[in-house]
Structure 1
Amino acid sequence: MPEQGCCDNCAQPLQGAFCHHCGQEKKSYIRNLSGVLTEFFGEFSNWDSRLWRTLLPLWFWPGYLSKRYLNGHRVPYVPPLRLYLFTSVLTFLLFSSLFSNSVVINQPQDAQSVAQQQQVMAEVKQQLVEQGVWQEDHELELFRLPFLTLAQQQAYNEKMQQLANQPKLAINKFFSLAPQMMLLFLPLFALMLKLLYWHSGRFYMEHLIVALHSHSFILHMLAAIVLLQLAADHSSWTLLTTICNKLVWLLLCWIPLYLFLFQKIYYQQGCAKTLLKYVLTITIYNSMVLFGFISLLVLSVLWA
């Protein structure tokens, strides 16, 4: 058995609470229940304080957390990857819950209403056929998606008919896949920043930290916008509705301004150059996200 002043793992003499040879902490995990509970609540309190020290700069001080992290100030704040994963899980759970509960399933209607709807649909279909959007393939009518093969299109149409009475299945599938898709976009966004700021001398990981913090901020703001809009829609107080609507517009304006200031403060370039790179970044990235979400909608229907 190693001595009391030695590491329990490699028996090296200790010079502090951690072994300088293998890194193991000199700490016994076999103790009574009161000790476990005390440590648990102590860790929870510490994490809670780190969370609030992280959220306020994340919301109001563009680029502050990224610069502090890269300058070595890491203990007071939640690590960027953990912050993003925690934010992503909670945000998409919130979206899934709200959108699933807001789905209204069509109730059976009388024959006259059904006939009127069929007439309207026939007129819309005729217009789409004239524009070349709606195609008829023998007995199968297809609302064509250009990136699907005929077999995939048929499977998609069949799934759409099956999900007409159970739309929550597709919504739940969409929000279960969305966090994974967003996680894939993070390294792509960091790569875009690396290419745009090629001569800055920064490593790829520095741009990835920016991507993690900026995406965490966007998800926080989107969650706040959805909750404020929900409060405005369901409030019977005119004053509260007005306040919520104004806050929604304020946040919608704050998101692009924040992201511009983030690039300006973090990369320390002039306003004109930063604005040009900001416009390029937003244009390319939004196009990628739009294509990704359209593909995700199709997959949500096919895999539901």
Structure 2
Amino acid sequence: MKQLTSYEGLHCANCGAAMQGEFCHECGQSIHSVLKPMHHMVEETVETVLHIDGRIVHTLPPLLLKPGFLTLEYFAGRRVRYIAPFRLMFVLCLLSFFVFHLAIDQLTDKIPANGHPLVSVNSSAIEAATSPAEVRKALQDELDGLQRARDTGVLPANVLEQARVGEQELRQAANRRLAALGAAPTPAASLAAPPAAAAVNVTDTKPRDGLPKATEGESKPVRIAWLPDVVNSRLTALGHQMQRNWRTFKHGDPAASAEAKQRMINGVFSALPPTMFVMIPAFAVLLKLFYIFRRRLYMEHLIVALHSHAFMFLSLLLITLVGMLSTWLRPHAAWTGYALGWLQAALILWLPTYLLIMQKRVYRQGWPMTLLKFWFVGWCYFWLLTLALMVAAALGMAH
């Protein structure tokens, strides 16, 4: 049973009004002091986290499965049990871009920088050999290929380490095959890493002859008459930095090229959240224009935009996670990879279907008019988003 507390005779420390409860009815300040023992702070933190978790349970399932439900609940005044629209969109935006960034990093790590192939070994010829002589010949061919890759002098230190591990794996595969054929194993060879001098040479990032220098081929300064000089200077600096990053990525040594690639990717992903924060009110403006005769406030369209983008970020998060899980499971159990692929396709198809049903339920128009407006709003938003993403990509490449 909740204990009754009397606040008679107590006054707000901020405005002096007579207290009628835990919070002042004039200024809203709590009667409780923020100076508390540590165990009280821990208790309040746990209570806050559990409260948020409860709202997550009430918010995420309908956000994913019930188009327009959260928006209509918010309009009806039932808001306490759900996460606020902006906070929901903000958290899902950051989380989805973070996971998508991880997926892009894993994908780009498998792609060679500026055309230089990464070191890879193939023991299939060794395992398919039918005599000890064929085993030794297949092993020598693979080792000669690794040595030729080392002799190019362009491999960074981490790839040289991969070559060393690959050589060890090839020798182990050859010894297993020789043992199966009843022959003596190959003599042990030195598996030590290349000399320090060679490591220094391959990681040296100083400009070589034939490579464009940082100041060569830079574009002319930006001069737009109606822009202030400081903006023109900033645009010029961004253009030069973009050219330097791209030149290093295309023509630099592998280590510098990989660094430039990662720098540009990080820059793009750092520019995406602010870009989306600009696109959300722009999307609300489109809804306001296409539903101007519905006599709704701009804030109502903004709530629709926030919930729509929260759903899109949640979908992006789930699609990315399912794709990463499919890639991880496919080599071990092919059927799980195919099943997750179908799930990923279903999530992609659910994305436009959800938004269409949401628009129909929130604005309560007939299907013909809803389909027409959905197509026009989507078409306009697509080109606005494309332009915004191009700007974000340019800013990221100039990082």
Please give the range of the TM-score, normalised by the shorter of the 2 chains.
0.7 to 0.9
Aligned to 1:207: 301
Provide Cα deviations, 1:134-184, integer angstroms capped at 9, x if missing partner. xxxxx9699xxxxxx999877644330123412111011100000000000
Equivalent pairs counted in the alignment come to: 270
Write the distance in 1 (CA, Å) between the matches of 2:240 and 2:34.
Answer: 59
Aligned to 1:257: 353
The DSSP-based 3-state class of the residue aligned with 1:220 is helix
Distance apart, 1:60 and its partner CA: 0.7
Is the Cα–Cα contact under 8 Å of residues 284 and 298 in structure 2 kept in the other structure? yes
Distance apart, 1:47 and its partner CA: 0.7
Distance apart, 1:245 and its partner CA: 0.5
Write the distance in 2 (CA, Å) between the matches of 1:214 and 1:153.
Answer: 34
Aligned to 2:317: 223
Is the Cα–Cα contact under 8 Å of residues 264 and 274 in structure 1 kept in the other structure? yes
Aligned to 1:242: 338
1:1-304 equivalent positions in 2, closer than 5 A: 5-104=10-109, 105-106=112-113, 108=116, 156-164=242-250, 165=257, 166=259, 167-235=261-329, 236-302=332-398, 304=399
Write the distance in 2 (CA, Å) between the matches of 1:282 and 1:273.
Answer: 14
Provide Cα deviations, 1:242-276, integer angstroms capped at 9, x if missing partner. 22111111011100000000000000000000000
Provide Cα deviations, 1:163-216, integer angstroms capped at 9, x if missing partner. 341211101110000000000001100000000000101000000000000001
Moved over 6 A (4+): 149-154
Is the Cα–Cα contact under 8 Å of residues 163 and 169 in structure 1 kept in the other structure? no
Write the distance in 1 (CA, Å) between the matches of 2:12 and 2:82.
Answer: 30
Higher Rg: 2
- Alpha carbons of structure 1 residues 280 and 223: separation in structure 2 relative to 1, 3 Å: same
The RMSD of aligned alpha carbons is 2.5
Provide Cα deviations, 1:20-66, integer angstroms capped at 9, x if missing partner. 11111121222211111111101110011011211111001111111
Q: Which runs of 5+ in 2 are unaligned?
A: 1-6, 118-147, 153-215, 220-234, 251-256
Write the distance in 2 (CA, Å) between the matches of 1:71 and 1:298.
Answer: 42
Aligned to 1:121: none
What percent identity do the matched residue pairs reach? Answer: 31
The DSSP-based 3-state class of the residue aligned with 1:103 is helix
Q: Which runs of 5+ in 1 are unaligned?
A: 115-138, 143-148
- Alpha carbons of structure 1 residues 151 and 86: separation in structure 2 relative to 1, 3 Å: closer
What amino acid is aligned across from residue 300 of structure 1 in structure 2?
G
Distance apart, 1:294 and its partner CA: 2.0
